[in-house]
Amino acid sequence: MNNYQDQINRMWGLIKLQNKALKNGFWIEAIEIGYILLEIEFRLLLRSRADSKKGPIDIEKINNQKYLINLATLALDNNFISNDTFNKIKSFNVTRKKAFHGLAFGEIEYADIEDDARKVHRLIGEIQGYFLTIKVGKIQKQRK
């Protein structure tokens, strides 16, 4: 199997793990797997052409980004994502850190992070939406 197919297979494995974590109420696992999936989605997005006028980002530049927020910043700076999406990524990152540290120091209850664990799916879907932007033209608008 080629390297690309191996990456896709690993990604599907992670998606299955995240779904299982959500189903079983393992909120920390769901959040952390969501973080990994978001990183993967950003790396794929930055290598795609998406809506960027410049085309894909150089693989070396992508590989030099060590954290999700760095990948999101690179995507924002190159017009791959909107400010709104970037702010959601920042918010998720803060929430993720609060979940880990808050639980460790007894500042929050485990049940308090369920909502955040479930929101990660929508954020991943939002990033995937940047791969294929569908624009509605005059003819489609007239068919209402």
pLDDT at residue 47 in the model: 85
Of 3-7, 79-83, 96-100, give the lowest mean pLDDT range. Answer: 3-7
pLDDT of residue 1: 47
Q: How many CB atoms lie within 10 A of CB 133?
A: 8
- Structure confidence at residue 137 (pLDDT): 62
pLDDT band for 108, please (50, 70, 90 cuts): confident
The DSSP secondary structure of 30-73, one letter per residue, reads: HHHHHHHHHHHHHHHHHHS-TT-SS-SPPHHHHHT--SHHHHHH
User: Quick check: 29 pLDDT over 90?
Assistant: yes
Q: Identify the band that residue 143 occupies on the pLDDT scale cut at 50, 70 and 90.
A: very low
Domain residue spans in the chain? 3-142
Q: Tell me how far apart the alpha carbons of residues 116 and 113 are, in angstroms, rounded to a whole number.
A: 5
